[in-house]
Amino acid sequence: MPLECVMILLDNSLYARNADAIPNRFQCQFEGINSLINHKSNDNAETSIGLMMMAGKGKQILVTPTNETVYIFSQYNKIQIQDFICLSRAIQIAQLTMKHRVNKNQHERIVVFVASVIKETPEELYVIAGNLRKNMIAVDIVNICCQENVELLHNFVEIVNVDSNSRFVNFQGGLGRLGDALKQSGILGGHQTDTGTFQEDIDPELEMVLRISLEEERKRQEEIERSRQPANQETKMEMEDTKNDEEQSKLLSKANEIVNDQSSKQPTDSKNNEYLNDPNFINDILQNLKIDKKDEDQPDDKNKKQPKK
């Protein structure tokens, strides 16, 4: 991984208070700076990082390039929103600071977060861009919610760019996160794919091991799936046979119940018919009811003729 000396330029101007980014332009810069510092320090422990403000009078350099990232984070509370930025002057100060770096083997890089309208003319900035290109200093510029700067800053990066060592990011704010925009742009490392997106760099040996492991896992899953198919078919057939047997058992039980009911009713019916056909039994019932069988054959009293007087 490249060994670099990085200067981060923060926009702390009055424009940074605008809330068209989450939570505002000023605070979202810290998210991007934190991601950048963590990436650079993890990428190469010998990379040194510095931090400076672009707005305000007096001391603008907060931290000269150092390996102590904790010290950089501790300087955040000293940053105040004030005045307006002077981009050309800030870049020249950063360039001079990196010139006096301890390790001369470090590649120089400036990362600029711009959250306000630029006052310099294109000619002034293009002269500085030519000087940076001449000294092989890479520049990454992140434009935050300022559409007026897009063309100017894009052309600036195009002049500085040598072998794709410089990038321009136009972050439009809204619900998006600045850290995600930096990842997609490649500023946090990575290479551009065929689809135009960026992927983080992976150790080639590690990538090969991961690819082989994934291929072996895929083959293992296919073998397991093939071994399960016959078992699934047999289980399905057994379930169907069991279901058919249960249905047949239910039908047989129902038929037996019907037969039993019929057989249980038949003796009772024949016995009842036998009693009804017995005249002695009928006579006994009529006597118990005090009814004379001969009276049934006689007409009612109402239908009898009155005897003549």
Q: Does residue 278 fall inside a structural domain?
A: no
Give the tokens for residue 151. Answer: 């063309």
The pLDDT, as a whole number, for residue 208 is 66
Q: Does residue 152 fall inside a structural domain?
A: yes
Give the tokens for residue 232. Answer: 């699934």
Q: Which amino acid is at 226?
A: R
Give the tokens for residue 149. Answer: 């700067």
Contact 149, 85 (CB under 8 A): no
pLDDT in tens, the chain (309 residues): 689 999 999 999 999 999 999 899 999 999 999 999 999 999 899 999 999 999 988 778 999 999 999 999 999 999 999 999 999 999 999 999 999 999 999 999 999 999 999 999 999 999 999 999 999 999 999 999 999 999 999 999 999 999 999 999 999 988 888 988 898 888 886 544 444 444 445 455 566 666 677 777 778 888 888 887 765 566 666 677 676 667 767 766 766 666 566 555 544 444 455 555 667 666 766 666 655 545 544 555 444 445 544
Q: Does residue 219 fall inside a structural domain?
A: no
The pLDDT, as a whole number, for residue 52 is 96
Contact 131, 162 (CB under 8 A): no
Q: Does residue 215 fall inside a structural domain?
A: no
Q: Residue 36 belongs to a domain with what CATH number? A: 3.40.50.410
Give the tokens for residue 143. Answer: 């434009």
Q: Does residue 288 fall inside a structural domain?
A: no
Distance CA 223, CA 214 (A): 14
Asked whether the CA dihedral 253, 254, 255, 256 is positive or negative, the reply is positive
| Residues whose CB is less than 8 angstroms from the CB of residue 267 and which lie 6 or more positions away in sequence, other chains included | none
The pLDDT, as a whole number, for residue 254 is 65
Q: Does residue 193 fall inside a structural domain?
A: yes
Contact 9, 50 (CB under 8 A): no
Domain that holds residue 129: 4-200
The pLDDT, as a whole number, for residue 242 is 72
Q: Does residue 282 fall inside a structural domain?
A: no
> Nearest-CA neighbor of 188 among 42, 30, 90?
42
Q: Does residue 225 fall inside a structural domain?
A: no
The pLDDT, as a whole number, for residue 303 is 47
Asked whether the CA dihedral 192, 197, 203, 205 is positive or negative, the reply is negative
- Read off the DSSP letter of residue 108: E
Contact 33, 24 (CB under 8 A): no
- Read off the DSSP letter of residue 170: E
Q: Which residues partner with 112 through β-bridges?
A: 9, 141
Distance CA 275, CA 10 (A): 118
pTM over 0.75: no
The count of domains in the chain is: 1
> Nearest-CA neighbor of 140 among 184, 185, 100?
185
Q: Which helix (H) or strand (E) holds 266?
A: helix 204-276
